[in-house]
Structure formats: structure tokens, C-alpha cells
Homo-oligomer: A and B are copies of this chain.
């Protein structure tokens, strides 16, 4: 089941630099882990912004929330979620 997720990151400028670096590193590790599990098939950078647009493929709403909440940058992100479904004009379903 696919979801469109946009994450806009805004780390407070006065966050301790070590905490910041460590959090960003853990974020990347966790992101790779979720991708390896096949749950996060697409992640793109939005040009000019500290943001990503992603597609998640999960079993349920609960699983999606668990994944997003497990991201170390979660407290510093504005996240919007849109449930997706197959488009009738998708070549794959003709």
C-alpha cells in the first residue's frame, strides 16, 4: 500500500552541533535500514530545499506511522502524508 510523504527539515540553528551531526548520521542510517526492508522504495531531494519527497510501501497506516516516528529527525520535520492508489491511466494496469 503506497503513501506519498513529504518531509521538510528545520533543525533549530542553536542545536548543539554535535547533537546535530549525530542526529543527521542516525537519520541516514535509519533511512537506509527502512529502504533495505523494502518499505521506502523512493526518496528524492527537492531542489533548493532541505526536503525530500518519498514513496512508502507499507502494510498499514500504523506501520507507516511507526516508521516515520522512528526517524531521528522526526522532531524537527514537518511531514505531510497522502494515501495513494493505482491510477486508471497507469500503463502497468492496462
Q: Which residues on A are within 8 Å of B, measured CB to CB? A: 1-5, 12-15, 27-28, 31-32, 35-36, 42-50, 52-53, 55, 60-62, 64-65, 68, 75-76, 79-91, 94
In the complex, the answer to whether B44 meets A81 with C-beta atoms within 8 Å is no
Known: A27-B89, A89-B43. A48 touches B60 (CB 8 A): no
A69 nearest CB neighbor, chain B only: B48
CB-based contact B35/A91 at 8 Å: yes
Q: Which of A4, A14, A36, A84 has most chain B Cβ within 10 Å?
A: A84
CB distance B86 to A83 under 8 Å?
A: no
Q: How far is the CA of A62 from the CA of B45 in the complex (A)?
A: 9
Q: State whether B32 touches A47 (Cβ < 8 A).
A: no
